[in-house]
Amino acid sequence: MGTIVANLAELTRIIEDEKGKGQRIVFGNGCFDILHVGHVRYLKGAKALGDILIVAVNDDSSLTGLGKRKQAVTPVKERAEIIAAIDCVDYVIVFSEPTVEKLLLTLKPDIHAKGTDYTEENVPEKEIVRSYGGKVAIVGDPKDHSTRDIIRVIKELEEGKG
């Protein structure tokens, strides 16, 4: 089971220690509002690239700031707890910024893993990762699953359409 880390300073100390042991650090991030198999496959794919998997979870305000939904379905503390319970996840941190740039620049993971809705060239943080010698990797299954689709199906079922 992974550990939810309270703040970036604490996580930085942990990761520096892990790097000192020669561990390969992988970083992933997302909203993870309604967990589905695509999330699990993404996280497993990310973990397969290294020894330590850090997952940054968008807080409620940054999730809604992305414009995907008006509010989170699952509160951030619960989302972090769920992600930490997945075997392949080592550390979870909640973040409130619109992007993970600050986390990447501070932690400098060896690999920044993104899902298959990206390519290595359109990952927004690719230049930051490359600036410190890290690599971007695309992992997981095809983007056939989404929280948005799950919410749509639930609404249809409630309305008697399903």
Query: CA-to-CA distance for 1 and 82, rounded, in angstroms?
Result: 10
Q: Which residues of the chain have pLDDT under 70?
A: 66-69, 161-162
Does residue 66 contact residue 29 with C-beta atoms inside 8 Å?
A: no
Contact (CB, 8 A) for 46 and 53: yes
Q: Which pLDDT score is estimated for 150?
A: 78
pLDDT at 161: 67
Q: What is the pLDDT of residue 69?
A: 67
Instruction: From residue 141, give the alpha-carbon distance in Å to each of 101, 114, 147.
Output: 25, 11, 15
Give the residue extent of every domain in the chain. Answer: 3-158
For residue 153, what pLDDT is reported? Answer: 82
Residue 91 to residue 150: CA distance in whole angstroms: 27
pLDDT number for residue 21: 98
* CB neighbour class for 67 (10 Å; exposed up to 12, middle 13-18, buried from 19): exposed
Cα–Cα distance list, 48 to 45, 71, 97, 101, 104 (Å): 5, 32, 27, 23, 19
DSSP H or E segment with residue 19 = helix 8-20
Among the listed residues 131, 139, 89, 87, the one whose alpha carbon sits nearest the alpha carbon of residue 106? 131
The answer as to CATH 3.40.50.2300 being correct for domain 3-158 is no
